[in-house]
Amino acid sequence: MIALVAVVAVLAAQLVVTLVWLKRWKEVHHGYIGIALAVFGVIVGWQWLVMIGGIILADDAMQHLIQLRWPHSRASLLWGLYAITIAKWQWVERLNHWLDQEDA
């Protein structure tokens, strides 16, 4: 479990640094959900939840690392699944619009 937590910690740090560099750290990212799941998994001792959180985190971290070179890339398997499943649902579009609003 210690090695798994170390990997998740490195991925979390890489994600945060990349998002700060891209000036996108204030947006909602599935990597943040992955971090929360991994932390909760550590607290309750559920290694499987740490692994799921780590996978979600790794997907988002890799997507934004790639965006450093190709800014409009959507190199995320999870984003692709989201795009072909629930992205066009009206309530999801409204939520995304609300979340993507810039600070006034």
Taking residues 6-18, report their average pLDDT. 87
Return the structure tokens found at 94: 């409204």
Domain boundaries, the chain: 2-75
pLDDT exceeds 50 at position 104: no
Percent of the chain with pLDDT over 90: 23
| Predicted confidence band of residue 16 (pLDDT cuts 50, 70, 90) | confident
Taking residues 53-63, report their average pLDDT. 90
pLDDT exceeds 50 at position 100: yes
Return the structure tokens found at 86: 């629930």
pLDDT value at position 102?
A: 58
- Lowest mean pLDDT, pick from 21-25, 74-78, 88-92, 99-103: 99-103
Taking residues 76-96, report their average pLDDT. 85
Closest CA to 11 of 63, 66, 54, 74: 54
